[in-house]
Structure 1
Amino acid sequence: MKSVTKYYSNGEVTIVWQNEKCIHSTVCWKNSTGLPDVFNPKDRPWIKPEAAETAAIIEQVKKCPSGALSFFMNADVAQNAAPEAPETQPETQVQSETIIELAPKGPLMVYGNVVIKDADGKETRKSKVTALCRCGASANKPFCDGSHTKIDFQG
């Protein structure tokens, strides 16, 4: 999957979306958990930040389990300079125990600081929430890419 980062702004806040991190949890757009007026994967563009108050958008983005959604305040950029790309921002270190949760029909959700070492010894550090593939179909292993939905994973 080609890595794509997109920016959507309402003039006050800019929402950043990174496709390769997205696990398609639906937390952002489902009526019961999200802001469907702002986040609607059936529309183009699929993010419409002008459809809600900035505070509501920020709270919703903070709920993203994969970190595919992030945000920055435009006033901070105007005062300082261009924001760092999300992938180069320093990781937030969680000061708590690590918790692993099985998402129904989905990935292993790992909450906390983790270091993942691949077969070549390359280390990837993650904090906050990391979604690990459980279905075996991800093109971004060991991370989840939402393929469990496409294959109707029942684990």
Structure 2
Amino acid sequence: MSDKQQLDFAGREIDVHFDGRLCIHIGECGYAKGDLFVGGREPWCDPDAATTAEVREIVERCPSGALTYQDKSGVPETAPAENVAMVASNGPLYLTGDLDIQGAAEDMPGVRFRAALCRCGASQNKPFCDNSHVEAGFVDAGAVGDRGAGLTATGGSLKVELRPDGPMVLSGNLSIRAGSGRLAWQGEKAFLCRCGASNNKPFCDGMHKKIGFKG
């Protein structure tokens, strides 16, 4: 199966859409209990093999936004109550929330609420992760040293701005969890490293200028 495929799986009560441009094969779908996703079966996704509630819950596990659904009862996916950035060990930045990501195509509905963003600098699909961190040998366990200014509210729109050849700027109520899962940082604006070279990951320290990062 080509990673560039976009596939639709129709069901009686709910449809599932797969966007291979975003998939990084985490496996939350394939490892889910039940018969909604079965590797080697044709089709490998059968929305009628699970209840509508199960389809919604399993699809929403997808951390990259590659999977979305269309509930025929008209119930849409909604933003989580809190905007969270999870710094994956040796991997991407997993964002969940009410996301407004610069550079996201209109036909990428999944990244409205869930996205895996590159932090190694090597992705060929910036700002999204494409697993290039593996070949690049990117190493960062996801420790977070700063605590941030704190929050008086959670949720609301989180704008993700990509500075040319520079950091990712997240504006809005935000909580950052370290690779260990610890709630580490809270604030309303964060400048995060996109080049992979910062000595203060996940935050930018200006190293993108020294290494000539482009992206």
Normalising by structure 2, what TM-score? 0.48
Taking only aligned residues, the RMSD between alpha carbons, in angstroms, comes to 3.4
More helix by share: 1
Whether 1:27 aligns to 2:28 is yes
Aligned length in residues:
133
Whether 1:131 aligns to 2:116 is yes
**Which of these residues, 117, 139, 144, is aligned with residue 129 of structure 2?**
144
Contact (CA 8 Å) 1:108, 1:131: kept in 2 or not? Answer: yes
Q: Secondary structure at the match of 1:21?
A: coil
Q: Specify the alignment match of 1:13 in structure 2.
A: 14
Contact (CA 8 Å) 1:23, 1:146: kept in 2 or not? Answer: yes
The amino acid of 2:92's aligned partner reads P
The amino acid of 1:21's aligned partner reads L
- Highest Rg: 1 or 2? 2
- Does 1 or 2 have the higher relative contact order (CA < 8 Å, sep 6+)? 1
Per-residue CA distance 1:88-139 (angstroms, 9 max, x = gap): x9x966664x43211234211123355555xxxxx54964222112344432
Q: Which runs of 5+ in 1 are unaligned?
A: 77-88, 118-122
**CA distance 1:63–1:116, change in 2 (3 Å):** closer
| Cα drift, residue 14 of structure 1 | 0.6
**Which of these residues, 37, 52, 76, is aligned with residue 54 of structure 1?**
52
Rounded to whole Å, the distance in 1 between the matches of 2:117 and 2:24 is 9
Normalising by structure 1, what TM-score? 0.63
Rounded to whole Å, the distance in 2 between the matches of 1:36 and 1:135 is 35
Rounded to whole Å, the distance in 1 between the matches of 2:55 and 2:79 is 23
| Cα drift, residue 10 of structure 1 | 2.6
Per-residue CA distance 1:20-41 (angstroms, 9 max, x = gap): 12222211122xxx24522234
| Cα drift, residue 6 of structure 1 | 1.3
